[in-house]
Amino acid sequence: MKSYLAAALQMTSLPDLKKNLLQAEELIDLAVRQGAELVTLPENFSFLGEEREKLAQAEAIAQASEKFLKTMAQRFQVTILGGGFPVPVGNGKVYNTALLVGPNGEELARYEKVHLFDVNVPDGNTYEESSTVLAGMRMPPVHPSKELGNLGLSVCYDVRFPELYRHLSQMGAEVLFVPAAFTAYTGKDHWQVLLQARAIENTCYVVAPAQTGRHYNMRQTHGHAMIVDPWGVVLADAGDQPGAAIAAIEPSRLEQVRRQMPCLQHRVFV
């Protein structure tokens, strides 16, 4: 693992596939121009709209999203995480799929979100992700990279389930991805503290691209795409506008924190 720059991109995605991919391309270009070698896109980067619209366009969204990620990775010669897009499963539902693609355009890892956001938020909004999304059945993967470190995948609501991240750290993860479309209401109280907790308890970097702003109807997201170091220090925060949080991933920092606070070695209950 070498020292390198990672980017957590922040978008305001809409119910418009073409516009979203154009916005994503501009942000990827921005991040690469600043030296990023690992670029991450948030959940719903290619489409964020009504569930019925998503289902109606799911096949086209899936094909365009995968092609886009592979094309961008090859064009810019970087590793890219597409943090979540619908992939049809043939029963009227989709998987919420995160895809990691290498600089040659090859698929490195794929994860189907296991924890679905079925929640009555106190602001009056109700979310029922399971109405259109089928929960994944497999634990998220860790992709080993000699240059970028061991990369662990997750998606949004997963961040509330620490056992998933303990699994990733047990599998050797050094960098945890948390691409999200966190609601504005829950985000203001929980987003940063959850990211810091996952970083601290697993002594890992956390790279968390995010959605921000108003998308359609009442849907509003929190923003604040972040990169957090293994001590829980917020290295970069994209605020509440589209853009990028960019920070260095330093193997020496990871080694230092794990040496000084070897809690992963001290676990009693496994």
Please pick, among 43, 66, 112, 174, the residue that the annotation labels catalytic. Answer: 43
On whether the CB atoms of residues 175 and 165 are closer than 8 A, the answer is no
Q: Enumerate the β-bridge partners of residue 210.
A: 10, 180
Of the candidates 37, 66, 70, 113, the residue annotated as catalytic is 113
Report d(CA 211, CA 49) in Å as an integer.
13
Classify residue 270 as exposed, middle or buried by CB count within 10 Å of its CB (0-12, 13-18, 19+). exposed
Active site residue 43: yes
Distance CA 26, CA 66 (A): 17
**DSSP state, 133?**
B
- For 203, the enclosing helix (H) or strand (E) is none
Name the one residue in this structure whose structure tokens are 């308890």: 201
Q: Give the start-end residues of each E strand in 135-194.
A: 142-145, 149-152, 175-177
Residue spans of beta strands (DSSP E) within 89-168? 94-101, 107-112, 118-120, 126-128, 142-145, 149-152
Catalytic residue of the set 37, 54, 156, 174: 156
Tell me whether residue 51 is one of the annotated catalytic residues.
Answer: no
Round to whole Å and give the CA distance between 29 and 235: 21
163 is catalytic: no
- Nearest partner of 156 among 103, 84, 50, judged by Cα: 84
Active site positions, annotated: 43, 113, 156
